[in-house]
Amino acid sequence: MNSAMVKSNARKSKASRFAKTFVIRFAFYFLLCALSFIFLYPFISMIVKSLMTEDDLVNITVKWLPSRATWSNYSIAFRRMGFRRYVWNNVLVCAVGTLGHVISCALTGYAFARYRFRLKNILFVVVILMMIVPVQVIIFPLYKQYSDWKWLNTFMPLLVPTFFGFGLNGGFFIFLFRQFFMGLPYEMEEAARVDGCGPLRTYARIMLPMAQAPMLVCCVLSMVWHWNDYFEPTIYMSGKPDYRMLPSVLPSLYDLLNKENHTMIQVNELEGIIFNEAMLMAATFLCIIPIMIAYLILQRRFMEGVERSGLTGM
């Protein structure tokens, strides 16, 4: 009798734990799916609308699935935004800017982490301020400075500062490398000095090869931020349409949409067809395709780099 009661109580306890675990997991995954949908909704909506026809855009019954996929929206958007013309500007700025950030920020972060020098703490406060203060706050003195140097309407304001640890979010990358190098043991540098290595050789031959994780994080983030940057290129290169970046082209397409698509009647003389919202969504998706492909390729190593670089410990 007692044995049967013990077994019955054990089964009830096991069923209770299973039910409790199931409810907790269900609530967790439901919340996770809900939050994921909130973040993915604009992206999904953009892709769906980019495949719609003009009739689908005005049909209130068409919401998630177009009546038929219209891939011609992408070819029209490709031509209308001059994708082939402006994508090379993005590639140039991303490649050179990322290279500048890796070279300068790694060296600066190493100096902050491993050496003692005068005004070190004050200079590091300046680095922190670079992370905190947005570029919009100091854009007027920067614009005046670059204007005096005759750098406006060129790529110089976007590229040269990256080789001096400044540029787009340069302070964050310096902080990233500093945190990584501070976690390395000093015995490696001492052994290198015993073997006759100088400071630069120790850094280049021993310390820098060990910093592959933060270098990868720096490369990916710098590439993404340079590719998506809209504010600074618009300010510094407003007088040279040929130097525009892809994000700077989208507002002109939006203006075209306001002029032609409000009534859905006027015809664009350049293309011979109506420019509608679906084509604008297609142009927006074209802008993010290259950087999205690069991220998908580097995603696994990027996440590993985030874990190893100490970024999660911020």
pLDDT of 81-138, one tens digit each? 888 889 999 999 999 999 999 999 999 999 999 888 888 999 999 999 888 888 888 9
Asked whether residue 22 is domain-assigned, the answer is no
> How far apart are the C-alpha atoms of 215 and 218, rounded to whole Å?
5
Task: Give the per-residue pLDDT at 263.
Answer: 43
Q: Domain residues for 185?
A: 82-313
How many domains in the chain? 1
Write down the pLDDT at residue 8: 63
Q: Is 274 inside any structural domain?
A: yes
Give the residue-averaged pLDDT of 9-14.
Answer: 66
pLDDT band at 297 (very low <50, low <70, confident <90, very high): confident
Give start and end residues of each alpha helix (H) in 51-138.
54-58, 72-80, 83-114, 120-132
Task: Give domain status of residue 213, yes or no.
Answer: yes
* Per-residue pLDDT at 267 exceeds 60: no
38, part of any domain: no
Q: Which comes out higher in pLDDT, residue 136 or 58?
A: 136
Q: What is the model's pLDDT at position 122? A: 92
* Inside any domain, residue 74: no
Given a cut of 80, whether residue 222 has pLDDT beyond it is yes
Q: Provide, rounded to the nearest whole percent, the portion of the chain with pLDDT above 90.
A: 30
Judge contact between 102 and 85, C-beta under 8 A: no
Q: What is the pLDDT of residue 2?
A: 57
Could you report the per-residue pLDDT of 165-186, keeping only the tens digit for each?
A: 888 889 999 999 999 998 888 8
List, in sequence order, every beta strand (DSSP E) within 223-279: none
Cβ–Cβ < 8 Å for 237, 244: yes
Query: What is the model's pLDDT at position 265?
Result: 39
pLDDT mean over 235-239: 86
Residue ranges of alpha helices (H) inside 51-82 are 54-58, 72-80
Look over the chain and give the mean of its residue pLDDT values, rounded to a whole number: 84
Question: Are 267 and 260 a contacting pair, CB within 8 Å?
Answer: yes
Quote the pTM value.
Answer: 0.82
Asked whether residue 12 carries a pLDDT value surpassing 70, the answer given is: no
Range name among 53-62, 157-166, 288-297 with the lowest pLDDT average: 53-62
> Would residue 293 count as lying in a domain?
yes
Q: Considering the domain boundaries, does residue 62 fall inside one?
A: no
CATH assignment of the domain containing 191:
1.10.3720.10
Measure the CA–CA gap between 108 and 181, rounded to whole angstroms: 11
Asked if residue 192 belongs to a domain, the reply is yes
More confident site: 82 or 302: 82
Residue 266 has a pLDDT of 43
The pLDDT confidence band at residue 146, using thresholds 50, 70 and 90, is very high
